[in-house]
């Protein structure tokens, strides 16, 4: 299934048909054969199915394709026919954990998605059936993909409490395909990391970790005006993707002094405190690995007054040398989710400033979700794996 992302050209003005998945009983992920489909006659046709297929977590490393009730539309809701949904690193964690504590079980998941509005509630006046959209899954307490009740690894998903000011549903510009639309959510995570670093024109930035979020942060940093944005990782495949995105790429190694040498070669050398000696001229470090040793190396390398943004998830506590922190006057902050970044990312993509399609490494139909999930667990081969939820 590896290859360039599909270039979808439908719009709400066209009468192409979308396939719908149907199933008469639950199916576990061990079944590899294709699920039967039935073609709809229009992008905006209201579904008449009572059930649909959805990927859900039943326990640690126990994911199944279940038959579930098709969601309905309340007065303030929007029903979205999901076209593409990306597999996020958090989805991999949810699977290992068997869901989330306190969430519904079985745990429905999937939150990086784009699609077409299937139906709107009577109080939703700013959107209509047929609109191409992307969705902020956390807006207005929706919790799509995290509360266990609703997930976008399914043909249809309900978005609640949709108002013009809610920031939940955004129109996907006609020049952007659905695969690009599914990248808006992870790109917004990266853009928020760049915003948290207070990056301005001319800043020199390094991102440690070339996963989807790290690459998104590098794209965001460049969008904000950073110079010589560099990405460091151990995966040659992911570094090649970074180069395709127009970013500097360096391979990490185990030499503790290598980071400083590489950055001095790229960003120059400064001496702003004789006690610290020569230091890289890097202004902003974005930590996107979630690895404690990497964070500690950043803190021992950064120049005085450097800004450090932590966007990688650290599951293990990290020791912090407070004397070093004081001497270097490091400014450490964190980035979580995307309180205001969805419109910023959509505008960036609409402008044609960057072609983010190299981020998509694989497409799989929903009926082959087991293969899609296994591929996403191989970071040396995959960057962003998309599930085609209408196939």
Write phi, then psi, for 99 (nearest 5 degrees).
115, -155
pLDDT given at position 391: 84
Q: Is the pLDDT of residue 284 over 70?
A: yes
pLDDT given at position 256: 76
Q: Is the pLDDT of residue 44 over 50?
A: no
pLDDT given at position 50: 87
Looking at the fold, whether 71 and 201 belong to one and the same domain comes out as no
In a domain, 141, yes or no: yes
Q: How confident is the model at residue 279 (pLDDT cuts 50, 70, 90)?
A: very high
In a domain, 212, yes or no: yes
Q: What is the mean pLDDT of residues 82-109?
A: 96
Per-residue pLDDT tens over the stretch 287-337: 999 999 999 999 999 999 999 999 999 999 999 999 999 999 999 999 999
CATH, residue 242: 3.40.50.720
Q: How confident is the model at residue 259 (pLDDT cuts 50, 70, 90)?
A: very high
Looking at the fold, whether 216 and 129 belong to one and the same domain comes out as no
Number of domains in the chain: 2
Looking at the fold, whether 171 and 212 belong to one and the same domain comes out as no
Looking at the fold, whether 171 and 80 belong to one and the same domain comes out as yes
Residue pair 383/361 in contact (Cβ under 8 Å)? The answer is yes
In whole numbers, what is the pLDDT of the chain averaged over residues? 88
Looking at the fold, whether 174 and 30 belong to one and the same domain comes out as yes
In a domain, 14, yes or no: no
In a domain, 11, yes or no: no
Q: What is the mean pLDDT of residues 61-66?
A: 97
CATH, residue 116: 3.90.180.10
Looking at the fold, whether 155 and 27 belong to one and the same domain comes out as yes
In a domain, 286, yes or no: yes
pLDDT given at position 193: 99
Q: What residue numbers bound the domain in which 27 lies?
A: 19-179+356-388
Tell me the torsion sign for CA atoms 290, 291, 294, 296: positive
Query: Rounded to whole angstroms, how far apart are CA atoms 306 and 335?
Result: 16
Looking at the fold, whether 284 and 249 belong to one and the same domain comes out as yes
Q: How confident is the model at residue 366 (pLDDT cuts 50, 70, 90)?
A: very high
Nearest to 263 by CA among 246, 283, 247: 283
In a domain, 113, yes or no: yes
Helix-, strand-, coil-residue percentages of the chain, each rounded to 5: 25, 25, 50
Buried b (16+ CB within 10 A) or exposed e, 88-127: bbbbeebbeebbbeebeebbbbbbbbbbbbbbbbeebeeb
**Selected residue with higher pLDDT from 24 and 228:** 228
Q: Is the pLDDT of residue 10 over 60?
A: no
Q: Is 350 exposed, middle or buried (0-12, 13-18, 19+ CB in 10 A)?
A: middle
In a domain, 12, yes or no: no
In a domain, 193, yes or no: yes
Q: Is 325 exposed, middle or buried (0-12, 13-18, 19+ CB in 10 A)?
A: middle
């Amino acid at each position: 299934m590896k290859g360039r992302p599909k270039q979808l050209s439908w719009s709400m003005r066209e009468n192409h048909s979308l396939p719908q998945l149907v199933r008469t009983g639950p199916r576990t992920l061990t079944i590899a054969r294709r699920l039967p489909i039935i073609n709809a006659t229009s992008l905006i046709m209201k579904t008449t199915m009572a059930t649909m297929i959805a990927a859900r977590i039943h326990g640690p490393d126990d994911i199944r394709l279940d038959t579930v009730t098709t969601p309905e539309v309340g007065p303030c809701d929007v029903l979205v026919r999901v076209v593409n949904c990306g597999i996020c690193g958090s989805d991999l964690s949810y699977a290992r954990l068997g869901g989330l504590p306190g969430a519904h079980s079985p745990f429905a998941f999937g939150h990086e998605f784009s699609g077409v509005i299937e139906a709107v509630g009577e109080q939703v006046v700013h959107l209509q059936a047929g609109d191409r959209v992307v969705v902020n899954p956390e807006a207005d307490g929706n919790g799509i993909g995290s509360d266990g009740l609703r997930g976008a690894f399914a043909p249809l998903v309900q978005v609640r409490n949709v108002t013009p000011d809610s920031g939940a549903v955004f129109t996907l510009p006609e020049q952007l395909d659905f695969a690009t639309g599914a990248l808006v959510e992870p790109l917004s995570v990266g853009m928020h990391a760049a915003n948290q670093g207070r990056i301005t024109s001319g800043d020199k930035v390094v991102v440690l970790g070339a996963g989807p979020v790290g690459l998104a942060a590098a794209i965001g940093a460049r969008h904000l005006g950073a110079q010589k944005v560099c990405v460091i990782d151990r995966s040659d495949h992911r570094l090649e993707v970074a180069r395709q995105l127009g970013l500097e790429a360096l391979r990490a190694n185990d030499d503790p002094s290598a980071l400083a040498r590489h950055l001095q070669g790229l960003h120059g050398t400064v001496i702003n405190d004789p006690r610290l000696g020569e230091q890289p001229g890097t202004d902003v470090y974005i930590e996107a690995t979630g690895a404690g040793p990497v964070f500690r190396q950043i803190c021992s390398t950064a120049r005085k007054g450097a800004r450090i943004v932590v966007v990688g998830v650290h599951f293990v506590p990290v020791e912090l040398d407070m004397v070093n922190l004081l001497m270097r006057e490091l400014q450490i902050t964190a980035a979580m989710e995307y309180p205001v970044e969805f419109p910023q990312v959509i505008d960036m993509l609409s402008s044609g400033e960057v072609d983010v399609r190299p981020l998509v490494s694989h497409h799989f139909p929903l009926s082959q979700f087991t293969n899609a999930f296994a591929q996403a667990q191989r970071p040396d081969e995959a960057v962003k794996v998309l599930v085609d939820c209408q196939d």
